[in-house]
Amino acid sequence: MSLAEETSTTAMALKNRNLLLGGALTAVFLGAALLSFLWVPYDVTQLDIANKIKGPSAAHWLGTDHYGRDILAMIMVGARTSIAVAVVAVGIGMLAGVPLGLWAAARRGSLLDEVIMRGNDLVFAFPSLVIAVMITAAFGPSATNAIIAIGIFNIPVFARITRSGALTLWSRDFILAARVAGKGSARISFEHILPNVLNLLIVQGTIQFSLGILAEAGLSYVGLGAQPPIPSWGRMLADSQTFISFAPHMALFPGLAILLTVLGLNLMGDGLRDLFDPKLRRGRT
Amino acid sequence: MSLLDIRNLSLSIHGAPILHEVSLTLARGDILGVIGESGSGKSMTAFATMQLLPEGAVPEGEVLLDGVDILSRSEREMCQIRGRDIGMVFQEPMTALNPLKTIGDQVAETVLLHEKVSRGVAQERAAEALTRAELPPEKFPMSRYPHELSGGQRQRVVIAMAIALRPKLLIADEPTTALDVTTQAQILTLLKKLVKEDGMAMMMITHDLAVVADMADHIAIMQKGRVVEEGPTAQIFRQMQHPYSKALLAASTHAPERSDESQEDPLLEVRQVRRTYTLPAKKLFGARRQIEAVKGVSFTLKRGESLGLVGESGCGKSTLTRAILGLEEVQSGEILLDGEPVFTGHKPNDVVRRKMQVVFQDPYGSFNPRHKVARLVAEPFHLTPDVPRAEREDRIAEALTAVGLTPGDAHKYIHEFSGGQRQRIAIARALITRPELILLDEAVSALDVQVRAQILDLLADLSKRYGLSYLFISHDLSVVRTITDRVMVMKSGEIVEEGPTEQVFDTPAHSYTQALVAAAPRLPDDVAA
C-alpha cells in the first residue's frame, strides 16, 4: 500500500465516529479481559459472606454479589469467557463457512452449489438459540458445547456472504486472466477471490462476534453456558434476579458490560463497513 | 443571442483546479462538440452547466442559459431547470434507467415532475416522446422494462426522457460510446434530427473526433481543463492551430508502422468450431432451450500474422475467444495451436496454452487490486513451472522494459498506474511466457486516442521484435484497419467475410460488412493533419 493510500485510509478512519467510538469500547473490553490475567482487584473464587450484597464503595468499586465476590473482578474475568466463546464461535463459522462459500461460488450454478447453499438454508431455518439449548441439553451444559452450538450457526452466515462476494468477482477480467494462466478454481479462490472478499468477512466477523457474546450471555443466563465457578456475564445477570429490588447494582453492571460491548462491536462493524465500502471509495482505486 | 453562454468558468474540487476559464457559446439549433481525453474537464463543464457538481466543488465565472445565471440558482430552482430546460443523455444506457420501472413510467415521470398534469396526460406525452425517439409504443409497448430492450433501444428511452419536455438545451455525454457501430450511427442520426426538429441546442461531449466531425456545427477541444481550440467544424478540421489539437487528430488517424511478416505455415487453426449454450428451462421440467453462439467457424492464422476479428456485441466473438484460450470446451470442431489441440480429452492442455496469452479490454478490471505488479505480471508462469525462480525476476524486468515501463514498477500496486500504463502491464503479463500468439480482446477500446496510438505502436514494435502473431478482436473498425493484415467479419456466430484488410474495408462484399463500414464514423477526407 502506498503512503498516500495509507494516510487517506487512516484519515478516513479518524473521521468515522462510529469506528472510533466502537473501537474504543471494544478496546476497553479487550483490555479488561487481558488485564484480568495479570491483576484482578479480588479473587473471584474467594467467598466473603460478611461483605455480601454491598453497593459500590471505595473497596469494591462496583459492589459485591450475594457471595461477597467483587463484581468488577467478575466482570473482568467474565469478559474472558465471552471473548473465548465468541472468538471460537466466529472461528468455527469462518473456517467452515468461507471455504464452503468459495467452493459454491467456484462451481456456481452446479448441483454442488445448490447442495451447499440449500444445506445452509436448512441450518438457517432453525432458530439458533433453541438448537443451542438442545445441544447443551443433550450433551450437558458447558462452555465448550455452547461454543460449538453458536459456531455451527455462524457457518451459513459466512458461507453466504463469501459466496455472494465471490460471485461478482468471478466475472471480473483478472479472474479470466488467472484462468488463462492455467490456474485452477481452488487456487484462484484462495489467491484472488479470498483477499478481495476479506473486508466483507471482517465486517461480518465483527457483527457475528457481538452476536456470539449475546448468545453466550443468553445460554449462561439459562444455566447452559459456562459453569460455576467460572464467572460469566449471563449467569451474573441470572444470579442478580432475586436481589434486583434491593441490590440493582448486581444486575446493572453485568448488563452494562454486555450492552456496551455489543454496542461497541456493532458500531465498529458499521464503521468498518463504511471504510471498506467500494461505493464510498469509488474513484480512488 | 446565444442560448448557452459559459464565461470564464473555473472550477476547483477540494482546492484542486479542474477547469481554467472555460468560455463556450452555443446558439439555438446548433450542435457544439466538446472533445477531449479523459481528465480534460469536458464532463465537468457539462455538470457545471447543470449544477450537478461533486461535493467540494467551487465554481467561478458565469454560466448563462437564456440569460439566466445558472451558478447563482439554488438547488430548488435547479430542480426546475434540470429536465425542463436542460435534458441530459448519459453514456451508459444500462445504468441510466431504473430496472424496476417500465419505460413508459420513466419517461412520464419527467413530465409529472415538472408539469401539473394528470397521469394519463403524462403517459400520452411519454408516448409522444418515445415516438420521437423512434421507439413508437405500437411496436414497443410502454409497459416494457429496460431489460427487455437492447442497448440502442435503451439509449432511445434515455433520449426520450431527455427530450420529453422539449428542453432548450440537450447535453449528451458520450451518448454512443457504449454502443455498436451500426447502433451508434442510428443514435447520432436521431440526435441530429431531434435538434433540427425542436430547434434545440446540443452540447455533445465525446473523446472521438470522428463522431462529431459530420454532426457538430462548432467544435471545442479541451485539454487539462482549458479550451485550447474552438471554432466552426469545417474550419477546425482544415486549419487546426493548437499543437494539442493536431496531436489529437494525428492520434485518431494514427497507423503504426508495420510490415506483413506472415509466413505460410499456420499457427492457429480453428476447424468447424461449434459452441452452444443451454439456457435454463423457463418452467420446471420444461424443455431447455439451446443457443448456438458459434456456428461452425473455421479459420487459420498464419505465423507472424496479425488477424482481425470484427463483429458487434452478441455475434459470438467473445465465445470464440474463450474457446481458443481453452477456457471453455467446444461441442464440436478442433482448435489447434502449432499443430496441437488446445483441449485434450476434457482438459485444457497447458503445454499448448503457454504459447498464447491474452490482453483484455478493461484496464481497471484486469488486475487483482491487492497484488503488486511483479506478482500480477508473473501470473502466467503458472503455465511454465520449469522457469527457475532466479530467472523469473529478470523476465519480469525484461517484460516491463519491453512495454516501456521500468523494472522498479514491479514493486508498485496497480492503482498507482493510469489506464494506458495498466494496459502496458497487461501486455507485459502476456509477454512473460514468451508466447507466439497474443489475443487482443478489445485491448485498446477503453483508451484515449493518444494512449491508444502509443499502445498500437508498441504492439506493432513487439510483433516485429518477438515475431508475435496477433488475433485482434474488436468492434472498432478503424483500429482493426490500422493493425491487421487480414480481417474476418463475424455475424450471428458465423464468419461472413474474410480477406486482406484493405480489400475488405475498401470493397466489402457481404451486405453486413457494407453496413458496418458505412456506419463507422469518419473524419472528413480533407483534414489538414
Tell me the C-alpha to C-alpha distance, in Å, between residue A260 and each of A16, A272, B366. Answer: 19, 18, 44
With CA atoms as reference, the chain B residue closest to A285 would be: B415
CB contact under 8 A, B354 and A182: yes
Residues 6+ apart with CB under 8 A from B158: B89, B90, B93, B96, B97
pLDDT-derived band at A4 (thresholds 50, 70, 90) equals very low
Assign B249 to helix, strand or coil.
Answer: helix
Q: Measured between CB atoms, which of A173, A177, A182 is closest to B353?
A: A182
Tell me the C-alpha to C-alpha distance, in Å, between residue B516 and each of B149, B152, B193, B473, B486. Answer: 21, 15, 21, 15, 17
Can you tell me which residue has the cell 499543437? B243
Query: What pLDDT, on a 0 to 100 scale, did the predictor assign at position A164?
Result: 93
**Domains of chain A from N-terminus onward:** 1-283 (1.10.3720.10)
Query: What pLDDT, on a 0 to 100 scale, did the predictor assign at position B424?
Result: 92
Query: What pLDDT, on a 0 to 100 scale, did the predictor assign at position B202?
Result: 94
CB contact under 8 A, A174 and B357: no
**Each residue of A116-166: pLDDT tens digit?**
999 999 888 888 778 778 887 788 777 787 788 888 889 999 999 999 999
| Cell numbers representing residue B148 in the block | 427487455
Indicate whether A279 pLDDT > 60: no
Q: Which of A281, A282, A267 is nearest to A209 (CA)?
A: A267
**Each residue of A157-213: pLDDT tens digit?**
999 999 999 999 998 888 988 888 888 889 999 989 998 898 889 889 988 988 888
**Domains of chain B from N-terminus onward:** 24-53+69-252 (3.40.50.300), 266-519 (3.40.50.300)
Given a contact cutoff of 8 angstroms between Cβ atoms, the answer to whether B422 and B363 are in contact is yes
Q: Does the beta carbon of A1 lie under 8 angstroms from any beta carbon of chain B?
A: yes
More confident residue, A247 or B513: B513
Instruction: Give the bridge partners for B229, in sequence order.
Output: B221
Tell me the C-alpha to C-alpha distance, in Å, between residue B389 and each of A270, B386, B393. Answer: 43, 9, 7
Q: What is the DSSP secondary-structure string of chain A?
A: --HHHHHHHHHHHHH-HHHHHHHHHHHHHHHHHHHHHH--SS-TT---GGGTT--S-SSSTT-B-TT--BHHHHHHHHHHHHHHHHHHHHHHHHHHHHHHHHHHHHTTTSHHHHHHHHHHHHHHHS-HHHHHHHHHHHH---HHHHHHHHHHHHHHHHHHHHHHHHHHHHTSHHHHHHHHTT--HHHHIIIIIHHHHHHHHHHHHHHHHHHHHHHHHHHHHTT-SSPTTS--HHHHHHHHGGGTTT-THHHHHHHHHHHHHHHHHHHHHHHHHHHH-TTTTTTT-
CB contact under 8 A, B380 and A176: no
**Cα separation of B215 and B134, whole Å?**
19
With CA atoms as reference, the chain A residue closest to B351 would be: A182
- Which residue out of A1, A168, A180 would a mutagenesis test of the B interface target, given it has the greatest number of B Cβ atoms within 10 Å? A180
Query: What pLDDT, on a 0 to 100 scale, did the predictor assign at position A285?
Result: 34
pLDDT-derived band at A240 (thresholds 50, 70, 90) equals confident
CB contact under 8 A, A179 and B327: yes
Query: What pLDDT, on a 0 to 100 scale, did the predictor assign at position B277?
Result: 84
Which residues of B sit within 8 Å Cβ distance of A? 325, 327, 348, 350, 353-354, 357-358, 360-362, 365-370, 379-383, 412-413, 415-416, 426, 429
| Cell numbers representing residue B28 in the block | 439555438
* Chain B residues inside the 8 Å CB shell of A178: 368, 379
From first to last of its 529 residues, chain B has per-residue pLDDT tens of 688 999 999 998 888 888 999 999 999 889 999 998 888 888 889 888 888 888 888 888 989 988 888 888 888 888 888 888 899 898 887 788 888 889 999 999 888 888 888 989 999 999 999 999 999 988 889 899 988 888 889 999 999 999 999 999 999 988 888 788 888 899 999 999 999 988 899 999 998 888 888 889 999 999 988 999 999 988 888 888 889 888 888 888 888 888 777 788 899 999 999 988 887 767 767 777 788 889 889 999 999 899 999 988 888 888 899 899 988 888 888 899 988 888 877 788 888 888 999 998 888 888 988 889 999 999 998 888 888 888 888 999 999 999 989 998 999 988 888 888 999 999 999 999 889 999 999 888 888 888 889 999 999 999 888 889 999 998 888 888 888 999 999 998 899 999 999 999 999 999 999 998 888 888 877 664 4
**Cα separation of A143 and B34, whole Å?**
69
Indicate whether A281 pLDDT > 80: no
Quote the ipTM score: 0.76
What's the predicted TM-score (pTM) here?
0.81
With CA atoms as reference, the chain A residue closest to B433 would be: A181
Query: What pLDDT, on a 0 to 100 scale, did the predictor assign at position B265?
Result: 87
* Chain B residues inside the 8 Å CB shell of A179: 327
CB contact under 8 A, B429 and A177: yes
Given a contact cutoff of 8 angstroms between Cβ atoms, the answer to whether A221 and A235 are in contact is yes
**Cα separation of B371 and B379, whole Å?**
11
3-class SS letters over B397-438: HHHHHHCCCCHHHHHCEHHHCCHHHHHHHHHHHHHCCCCCEE
Residue B418 burial by Cβ neighbours in a 10 Å radius (0-12, 13-18, 19+): middle
**Cα separation of B117 and B114, whole Å?**
9
Assign B451 to helix, strand or coil.
Answer: helix
With CA atoms as reference, the chain B residue closest to A196 would be: B370
- Which residue out of A1, A173, A185, A187 would a mutagenesis test of the B interface target, given it has the greatest number of B Cβ atoms within 10 Å? A173
Can you tell me which residue has the cell 456485441? B313
With CA atoms as reference, the chain A residue closest to B348 would be: A182
Q: Does the beta carbon of A177 lie under 8 angstroms from any beta carbon of chain B?
A: yes
* Chain B residues inside the 8 Å CB shell of A172: 365
* Chain A residues inside the 8 Å CB shell of B381: 181
Assign B441 to helix, strand or coil.
Answer: strand
**Cα separation of B91 and B176, whole Å?**
7
CB contact under 8 A, A176 and B327: yes
Indicate whether A11 pLDDT > 60: yes
Q: What spatial distance separates the first Cα and last Cα of chain B, rounded to whole Å?
A: 33
| Cell numbers representing residue A218 in the block | 443468553
Query: What pLDDT, on a 0 to 100 scale, did the predictor assign at position A284?
Result: 38
* Chain B residues inside the 8 Å CB shell of A183: 379, 382
* Chain A residues inside the 8 Å CB shell of B366: 173-174, 177
Tell me the C-alpha to C-alpha distance, in Å, between residue A114 and each of A152, A165, A216, B144. Answer: 19, 17, 32, 32
Q: Measured between CB atoms, which of A172, A180, A284 is closest to B327?
A: A180
Tell me the C-alpha to C-alpha distance, in Å, between residue B90 and each of A235, A280, B95, B172, B204. Answer: 61, 21, 9, 6, 11
**Each residue of A25-47: pLDDT tens digit?**
989 988 988 888 888 777 777 77
With CA atoms as reference, the chain A residue closest to B427 would be: A177
Indicate whether A282 pLDDT > 50: no
Residues 6+ apart with CB under 8 A from A55: A63, A247, A249
Mean pLDDT (whole number) for A202-229:
85
**Cα separation of B124 and B132, whole Å?**
12
Nearest-CA distance B234 → chain A (Å): 37
With CA atoms as reference, the chain B residue closest to A193 would be: B368
**Cα separation of A119 and A113, whole Å?**
10
> Strand B332-337 relative to strand B290-302: parallel, antiparallel, unpaired?
unpaired
Nearest-CA distance A274 → chain B (Å): 18
CB contact under 8 A, A195 and B370: yes
CB contact under 8 A, B366 and A182: no
> Strand B356-359 relative to strand B437-441: parallel, antiparallel, unpaired?
parallel
Per the rule left: phi > 0, alpha: psi between -120 and 50, beta: everything else, B334 is: beta
CB contact under 8 A, A180 and B325: yes
Given a contact cutoff of 8 angstroms between Cβ atoms, the answer to whether B293 and B131 are in contact is no
Tell me the pLDDT of chain B averaged across its residues: 88
pLDDT-derived band at A277 (thresholds 50, 70, 90) equals low
Q: Measured between CB atoms, which of B365, B413, B429 is closest to A2?
A: B413
